[in-house]
Amino acid sequence: NLINDILDFSKLRNHDIRLQLKAIDLYPIVDVVLAVSRPLIARRPIELINAVPDDLPPVRADENRLQQILHNLIGNAVKFTEQGRIAVRA
């Protein structure tokens, strides 16, 4: 995963990355990423919260890249949080 992130960053820097932009709803995307991230907090006193309003208008983004970014951000938050809450807001 780190290698893919580095390759993606290199492509982005060289303007060689193709984004698949479309209108997407953030709330369900965040829900999916949080569900996939739950094993990272197994048996730890950490709560993952989707604080994105479910009535937020769609955003134009690349769904796969957005999921990748959110997964990396949540992974880092879990790594540096001993206990408490990790909330995704928009």
pLDDT at 19: 82
Q: Provide the number of structural domains found in the chain.
A: 1
pLDDT tens digits for range 12-23: 666 667 789 999
The DSSP element (H or E) to which 71 belongs, if any, is helix 63-79
Question: Nearest CA to 88 among 66, 60, 61?
Answer: 66
Tokens representing residue 56 in the block? 């937020």
**Global pTM?**
0.81
23 DSSP assignment: E
pLDDT on residue 18: 79
Question: Could you tell me if residue 59 is inside a domain?
Answer: yes
* Domain presence at residue 11: no
Q: Look at residue 24 and tell me if it is in a domain.
A: yes
> Residue 48 falls within a domain, yes or no?
yes
DSSP 38: G
More confident residue, 1 or 58: 58
CA distances (Å), 20 to each of 1, 13, 23, 65, in order?
Answer: 20, 17, 10, 9
- Residue range(s) defining the domain that contains residue 78: 19-88
The CATH number assigned to the domain holding 48 equals 3.30.565.10
Residue 69 lies in a domain: yes
Which pLDDT score, from 0 to 100, does residue 59 have? Answer: 96
38: closest CA among 30, 29, 47, 51? 47
What's residue 23's pLDDT? 98
Q: Is 13 part of a structural domain of the chain?
A: no
Contact 79, 42 (CB under 8 A): no
pLDDT tens digits for range 27-75: 999 999 999 999 999 999 999 999 999 999 999 999 988 998 899 999 9
Note the pLDDT of residue 17: 72
